[in-house]
Amino acid sequence: MGELVTRGESVYMDNCATCHQPNGLGQSSKYPALAGSDITTGTIESHIDRVLNGKADTEMQAWAPQLSDLDIAAVITYERNSWGNEMGQVIQPMTVYESR
């Protein structure tokens, strides 16, 4: 868990923080908070799906083409265990691979 969270934090800062902010609180109504949000505290399947495939017609792009299975597993593990989110789950790269 520690290693994935550390890697996930750096993936997050490089790719996600411009919109969702380093503190996970997002910006106004344009970019949603990830602290306590439906998907980051919901099912792992929905979280992987949103990061891999994005959401059509929004600025949330699909990350599947850019990020490796390991980086996606790491950033999701980071999001589920940061900013007060305490899901306590480690996401395996194999699970991301199987969701592609």
Name the residues that contact ligand HEC, by CB under 6 A. Answer: 15-16, 18-20, 31-32, 34, 37-40, 47, 50-51, 55, 58-60, 63, 75
Question: CB count, 10 Å around CB of 99?
Answer: 16
- The least distance separating ligand HEC from the CB of residue 25, rounded to whole angstroms, comes to 12
Give dist(CA 90, CA 95) in Å, integer.
10
Region for residue 24 given its phi and psi (left: phi exceeds 0; alpha: psi -120 to 50; beta: otherwise): left
- The least distance separating ligand HEC from the CB of residue 26, rounded to whole angstroms, comes to 8
75 near 16, Cβ under 8 Å? yes
- The least distance separating ligand HEC from the CB of residue 77, rounded to whole angstroms, comes to 11
Closer residue to ligand HEC (CB): 17 or 94: 17
